[in-house]
Structure 1
Amino acid sequence: MMKNSTQVSYFTLAAYFDTGAFEFICFMIVMLLYLLILCANVLLIVVICMNRSLHEPMYLFLCSLFVNELYGSTGLFPFLLVQILSDVHTVSASLCFLQIFCVYTYASIQFSNLSIMSYDRYLAICCPLQYNTRMTFHKVAVLISLSWLYPFLAIFVLISLTIPLQLCGNIIPKVYCDNYSIVKLSCSDTTVNNVYGIIYTFTTVVLVLLILYTYMRILKVCFSGSKQTRQKAVSTCTPHLASLLNFSCGCFFEIVQNRFDMNRVPNMLRIFLSLYWLTCQPLFNPVMYGLNVTKIRITCKSVIFGKM
C-alpha cells in the first residue's frame, strides 16, 4: 500500500489465490464458458440477421441484447484468462479503466435493452391494433441507438470523475477492475463521485421499476383476456422476466459485496458472486430465448442441421 496520495500506474487484484495443480482446470473452464457464450450469441445474431421473417421489432431488440452479451464478455473473459495463468496479478491503470468502461456500459446497456423490450411487449399485447403504427422501424432504430448511447455517455462521465482522484493505495479486492473499489482507495474528496453514483444507481432502479410496472400491466390484460392472449403473453414475456430477475439478482450480489464487509464469506463464494452477473447472464439469455421463442428455436434447428 502507498502511504502518500499519488496517481498510481497499476493496480493489484488481490482476490486471486494460488490454485496450484487446478490452475489449468480453472483456465479450461473459463475458456469453455467463453466459447459457449461466443457460439450461442453469434448463432442467434446470424439467425436474426439472415432470416427476413425475424426482422421485426422484438427480434431486433433481441439482436441488440445478444450483441451486448458479446461486448460485455469480451471485456471480461480474455482478461480473466490472462490473469489465471499469470503469477503476478497486476494490471495497468489505463487497462483497468478500460475494463471498467466495458463492464459498466455492458450492465447499463443490459438494463436499457430489457426496458425497451418490455415496452415493445406492452404495445404488442396491450395495444395490438396500434402496434404497427407506434412501433415503426424508425422508432426501433431510435430506441436501440439510445439504449447504447446513453450508457456510453453516463459511464464516460463516471470514469472521468474517477481518473483524477489521488489514491492512497493500489489494491483492488476483486478478480477484475471495479470503479467503486478504486473510489474507496481515494485520499481526496469523493463527494461528487458518490453523488453521481447515487444518481446513476437511482436511474437504473427507476428502469427496473418501470419494467416491472409494464409487466404488471401486461399480466392484468392477460388475466382479463382470452386464452390465446394469455398463451401469447406467457410465451413472449417469460424469457424477458427470467432475464431481468437473473441479471438483477447478479447485480444485487455485486452491490452487497461492495457495500458490506464480506470477509467472513469464503473467498471462492465471493469470487463467484462478483462474477455471476458478468458470466452467467451472457449464456443464460441465448439459451432462454433460443428455447422459449418459437421462431428463433425453429430457425436455429434449421441452421444447425443444414435445412435452411
Structure 2
Amino acid sequence: MDDVFNVTYITLGGYAEMGKYRYFYFCIMFTVYILTICFNCTIVYLISIHKNLHEPMYIFIAALLLNSIVYNTAMYPKLLSDFLSEKQIISYSTCLFQYFVYYTLSATDFFLLSAMSYDRYVAICKPLRYPTIMRNSTVRVMLLLAWLVPACEMAISVTLVTMSKLCHFTFTAFFCNNSVYRLFCESSGALAVFDVLALLNMALFPLLFILFTYTRILIISYRSGRNVRKKAAQTCLPHLIVLFCFSSLCAYDVIIIQLGSNLHFMMTLQAFFYYPLLNPVIYGLKVKEISKHLKKLFFQAKVM
C-alpha cells in the first residue's frame, strides 16, 4: 500500500515460475503479438474494402477479429513489460481494468459467435427469408448488444469486487482474471451469486444457443442434397473450430482458482500463444471468399 498517494499495488507472482527463461518467453510473446495484430488487421482490411464481403457473415468475422485486436492491445503491453521487469506489480485500479477488459471482450466473443451461428442457421435453413431476416439494421443491433451487454454486466461485477476488502497483495498469475478473488479477506456471497448469473448469461446460454443452431443446421444438411451439405461444411467448420478452442479456454478459466500453479502457468501460455493467432488463420484459410482475396493481396505484394 502506498500511503502517500493512497494507491494499492498488487504483486503478480506468476512470473516467478519462468525463472531465467523469461526473456525467451518475451521474444515468443512479442512475436505472437505482432503477428496477431498484423493478421487480424489484414483480414479486417480485406473485409472493409471488398464489397462482396459486406455481408453479415463477414461483418461478424470482422467484428470478432476487431475484438481480438482490442483485447491484445489492452493486455499485451503490460504483459510484455512485466517479462522484462525485475518486480511485477500492478496498481489495484489497473488490475480491475484488466479484469473488466478480459471478461467483457471474452463474453463479446461468445455473443459474436452466437450471431454467426444464427446467421448461418438462417442462410442454410431459411435461405428464402435470409434477406428479410438478416437486414443491416438487424446486424447493427446484434453487434451493439454483443459489446454493450457484457460491458454492463462486467461493470456491475467490478463494482461488487471493489466492495470486497483486501487482505492479500500477491497472487500467482500473469494478469488480473478471477485470480483476484484470492486477494479478498473473505468470499463475497453477492459476488458469487452474480458471477453464476453472469456465467449463465454471457457464456452458457450463448453456448447452448450455438449448439442448438448448429444441430439444426446438421439435421437440415443431412436431409438435403450434397450441395447443401458441402455449403454447410465450408461455412460452419471454421466457426466450430474457433468455438471449440475458445470454449475450452473459457472452461479452464472458470475452474482456474482450483488448479495448481504449474498447470495455471502452462494453460495461461496456451491462451496467449495460440488463441490470438487462431481466429485470423482459421478464417483466412478456411473461408473461401476471404482466402481468395488474401491470396490476391499476397500475390500483388510479391509482384511489387
TM-score normalised to the size of structure 2? Answer: 0.93
What is the letter of the counterpart of residue 103 of structure 1?
Answer: Y
Which of these residues, 294, 301, 306, is aligned with residue 300 of structure 2?
306
Contact 1:71 1:102 in 2 (8 A): no
Determine the structure 2 residue equivalent to 1:272: 266
Q: Deviation at 1:23? A: 3.1
Aligned pairs for 1:81-230 (under 5 A) are 81-178=80-177, 180-187=178-185, 190-203=188-201, 204-230=203-229
Distance 1:198-1:230 versus aligned 2 partners, 3 A rule: same
2: CA distance, partners of 1:114 / 1:278: 20
2: CA distance, partners of 1:164 / 1:11: 17
Please give the secondary structure, in 2, of the residue aligned with 1:17: helix
Could you tell me which runs of 5 or more consecutive residues in structure 1 were left unpaired when the two chains were aligned. none
Determine the structure 2 residue equivalent to 1:74: 73
Q: Deviation at 1:158? A: 0.8
Please give the secondary structure, in 1, of the residue aligned with 2:15: coil
- Provide the aligned C-alpha RMSD in A: 1.8
Q: Deviation at 1:16? A: 1.0
Q: Deviation at 1:89? A: 1.1
Q: Deviation at 1:25? A: 1.9
Q: Deviation at 1:274? A: 2.6
1:284 aligns with 2:282: no
2: CA distance, partners of 1:22 / 1:14: 15
Distance 1:290-1:189 versus aligned 2 partners, 3 A rule: closer
Q: Which deviates the most, 124-133 or 169-178?
A: 169-178
Could you tell me which runs of 5 or more consecutive residues in structure 2 were left unpaired when the two chains were aligned. none
Contact 1:48 1:54 in 2 (8 A): yes
Q: Deviation at 1:251? A: 1.2
2: CA distance, partners of 1:116 / 1:215: 12
Amino-acid identity (%):
34
1:76-102 CA-to-partner distances (Å, cap 9, x unmatched) read 211111000011111111111111111
Please give the secondary structure, in 2, of the residue aligned with 1:16: helix
Q: Deviation at 1:75? A: 2.0
1:205-253 CA-to-partner distances (Å, cap 9, x unmatched) read 1110110011000000000001000000000000011110000111112
Please give the secondary structure, in 1, of the residue aligned with 2:175: coil
Determine the structure 2 residue equivalent to 1:262: 260
Please give the secondary structure, in 2, of the residue aligned with 1:11: strand
Q: Deviation at 1:19? A: 4.5
Q: Deviation at 1:272? A: 2.4
How many residues are matched? 297
1: CA distance, partners of 2:84 / 2:236: 41
Contact 1:112 1:207 in 2 (8 A): yes
1: CA distance, partners of 2:297 / 2:269: 32
Contact 2:166 2:185 in 1 (8 A): yes
1:31 aligns with 2:30: yes
Contact 1:73 1:279 in 2 (8 A): no
What is the letter of the counterpart of residue 167 of structure 1?
Answer: L
What is the letter of the counterpart of residue 274 of structure 1?
Answer: T
Contact 2:29 2:273 in 1 (8 A): no
Contact 2:181 2:187 in 1 (8 A): no
What is the letter of the counterpart of residue 230 of structure 1?
Answer: R
Distance 1:154-1:132 versus aligned 2 partners, 3 A rule: same
2: CA distance, partners of 1:106 / 1:113: 10
